[in-house]
Amino acid sequence: MIVALVFLLLAVGTVLFHFLSPWWWTPIASNWGYIDDTMIIMFSITGVVCIAIILFMAYSIFRFHHQEGRRAAYEPENTKLELGLALATAVGIGIMLAPGLLVWNLYITVPKGALEVEVVGQQWQWSYRFPGKDNRLGASDVRFVGTDNPLGLNPNDPYGRDDIVVVGDDLHLPVGRPVKLLLRSLDVVHDFYVPEFRAKMDLMPGMVTYFWLTPARIATFDILCAGYCGVGHPQMRGKVVIQSESDYQTWLAAQKTFAQLRESGAAERRASAR
C-alpha cells in the first residue's frame, strides 16, 4: 500500500509541478512559434504516457501484491497485448515526428529577399560578417586567417572587399525582416543559440550550415554556445541587438569593411617597423 501510494503521489506531483511551475520558456521573439507548438505536442504525448505508466505501476503493486496462498501467474507471451502496445507506440512516435518534419522544412526554406549574415564561431567568441554595397558575401577559407583577416576572407575575391566584419562584438539585426544566418566555425564544433528565437544550429568545421528567422520585437538577447567547445565554453556568450531598420542601417554604416581592416593593419605594421 505504501509503495502504491508513493507512485500515486509521484503522478499527482508531476502533473501539479508541470502546471504550477514558475520555470517555463522565455517569451518568444521570432516567427518560430511552430517550435513551441511542436514541443507542446511532444511534451503532451510523453507526459500522458509517463503518467499512465506510473499509475499502471501503482495499480499493479496494489492489485497484485503478495498475499499468503496466492500463486503468481506465469504468462510469457500475450500476442494481442504486444501488438496493441507496438501499434500505440508507433502512432505516438508518428504524431511526435510529423510536426517536427513539417517545421524543419519551413526552418530551412529561406524566403526570397532575406538578409544574409554570416556567424563565425571560434574558441571562444562570436564574430559576424555582413554583405557590403554589392549585397554579396565574398569567399572565405581558414587558410587566410591572420591578424588583419580574423575571419579568413579570400583577399583575392573582389566580392569580399566591401564585406563588413564585426569581431567579438554584438550582433545587430533589423526587426521584422527575414534573416538567413550562415554558420561557420574556425576550429571546433560550436552551436549558435538564442533562446528567445527558438532557433539553434551547429557550426561544423569545414562546412557552412544555416537557418533563417524573422526577429519579432526590438530588444537585446543573449547568444549562447549550446555545444561543448572546450574549457572556455561557458564564457562563449554574446548579445544580439534587434533594432528598427533605420537604427540598424546607422549601426551598419559605422562598421569597418574587410578592405578597411586590411589597410589599418598594414598601416600599423608600417608604423611599428619604423
Q: Note the pLDDT of residue 2.
A: 83
What are 68's three cell numbers? 499468503
The confidence band for 268, taking pLDDT boundaries of 50, 70 and 90, is: low
Angle between the N-to-C axes of helices 2-20 and 33-63, in degrees from 0 to 180, rounded to the nearest 10: 170
Instruction: Say if 23 falls within a structural domain.
Output: yes
Give residue 34's domain range. 2-64+78-108
Instruction: Say if 209 falls within a structural domain.
Output: yes
User: Are 145 and 220 part of one and the same domain?
Assistant: yes
Quick check: 48 pLDDT over 90? Answer: no
pTM of this prediction? 0.79
Instruction: Say if 73 falls within a structural domain.
Output: no
Asked if 114 and 213 count as a contact pair (C-beta separation under 8 A), the reply is no
Q: Residues 88-101: what's their mean pLDDT?
A: 86
Instruction: Say if 70 falls within a structural domain.
Output: no
Q: Looking at the chain, how many residues does it have? A: 274
Torsion region of 172: left, alpha or beta (phi above 0 gives left; psi -120 to 50 gives alpha): beta
Work out how many domains the chain is built from and give that number.
Answer: 2
Q: Residues 239-258: what's their mean pLDDT?
A: 93
Instruction: Say if 153 falls within a structural domain.
Output: yes
Q: Note the pLDDT of residue 60.
A: 84
pLDDT: which is higher, 66 or 154: 154
Q: Note the pLDDT of residue 267.
A: 63
Percent of the chain with pLDDT over 90: 42
Q: Note the pLDDT of residue 59.
A: 87
User: Are 56 and 85 part of one and the same domain?
Assistant: yes
At residue 218's C-alpha, the angle toward residues 217 and 220, to 5°, is: 115
The CATH number linked to 259 is 2.60.40.420
Instruction: Say if 214 falls within a structural domain.
Output: yes
Quick check: 218 pLDDT over 90? Answer: yes
The confidence band for 271, taking pLDDT boundaries of 50, 70 and 90, is: low
